Amino acid sequence: MAQLGMDLNRFILEEERKYPSATGSLSLALTAIESASKIIESKVRKAGLSNILGTTDNTNVSGDQVQKLDVIANDLMIRYISDSGQFHALASEELDDPVFPENGRDGKYVISFDPLDGSSNINVNVSIGTIFSIHKKIDGTVNDFLQEGHKQVAAGYIIYGSSTVLVYTTGNGVNGFTLDPSVGMFLLSHPDMKIPEKGKIYSINEAYAHKWEKNLKAHIDSYKEKGYSLRYIGSMVSDVHRTLIKGGIFAYPADSKNKSGKLRLLYEASPMAFVIENAGGRSTTGAEDTLNVKPDSIHQRVPVFLGSREDINELLNVIG
């Protein structure tokens, strides 16, 4: 097991050495994401001093109000990812269509990302984050993004909270790294992360309970009788990070208004499911394993349930 305090870049290289056929391309790709996240983190930390709080006059393709920091984070991710030369194409929650960088013509991967998850919480200083998902390039078209989640080669997130933490997996365990601002490096702080088999926390927006299917509502209500605690921040990256560490369940179900769910498959549901399942947990849309869903568009939405294996199994016994 890697030692606590190991630098992320060294950790990535050590992992690469385990695979003799590795070309180093994925390592460079992950390093590009790390670099972008450090710059985004610096912008988030001084947002109130830089006149970059607040909204723009635009909405994104998903219909969400675009924050000023959304634009900045999106531009930074595009710049660093494109300049790395490792990605043939990129898709962002903030963009209508994929981007095919000139430098990435020979890139082996495509990446989907939410540059600033939870951006509605920016102005009230609540934790937000960046989520990313990497697939292999197949044919060099938009179809490269329409692969099932279990085909991801890497996924993870960066949470900008009381500390900045980067969590990622390449399908062989989950590790977390905390940014040490004094040296400007992500250092291993959460090695080989494992979600508890069962938790005592549920994370869901109960304000929408009147719109849920009755069996789901009854099951969520039962958590109170079982002594579960409700914890809901409204930034998926924050709620999932807590669920990963403490166990329990995070849910954003479909309802009578959003019949296909609200969260995006490529940018939120699939990468978070990949992290949770590689930490020993489980994820589902209620109808099938999230990682088995084959996207039909790059902005597809799905219901999301993920967390401790026993909690998800109990849920599926009711709604599955």
| Number of domains present in the structure of the chain | 2
My answer on whether 53 and 183 are in the same domain is yes
My answer on whether 144 and 33 are in the same domain is yes
My answer on whether 57 and 186 are in the same domain is yes
Q: What's the CATH number where 32 sits?
A: 3.30.540.10
The whole-number pLDDT of residue 21 equals 82
C-alpha–C-alpha distance, residues 162 and 68, integer Å = 21
Residues assigned a catalytic role: 64, 70, 93-94, 114, 116-117, 268
Mean pLDDT by 10 residues, the chain (320 residues): 90 89 91 96 80 57 65 93 96 95 95 91 87 97 98 97 96 97 96 98 97 96 97 96 98 95 97 98 97 97 98 94
My answer on whether 227 and 121 are in the same domain is no
pTM over 0.85: yes
The whole-number pLDDT of residue 121 equals 83
Q: 293 lies in which domain range?
A: 201-319
My answer on whether 158 and 34 are in the same domain is yes
My answer on whether 243 and 176 are in the same domain is no
> In angstroms, what CA-CA distances link 19 with 1, 108, 168, 266, 277?
16, 17, 18, 27, 22
Q: What's the CATH number where 298 sits?
A: 3.40.190.80
Query: For the segment 16-28, what is each residue's pLDDT rounded down to a tens digit?
Result: 988 888 889 999 9
My answer on whether 69 and 96 are in the same domain is yes
The whole-number pLDDT of residue 61 equals 53
290 part of a folded domain: yes
My answer on whether 104 and 234 are in the same domain is no
Contact 2, 14 (CB under 8 A): yes
The CB-side HSE value for 90 (13 A sphere, CA atoms) comes to 29
C-alpha–C-alpha distance, residues 173 and 167, integer Å = 11
278 part of a folded domain: yes
My answer on whether 177 and 251 are in the same domain is no
195 part of a folded domain: no
My answer on whether 183 and 292 are in the same domain is no
Picking from 168, 190, 212, the residue at the C-terminal end of a domain is 190
* Cross-strand partners of 179: 186
My answer on whether 23 and 61 are in the same domain is yes
C-alpha–C-alpha distance, residues 111 and 156, integer Å = 11
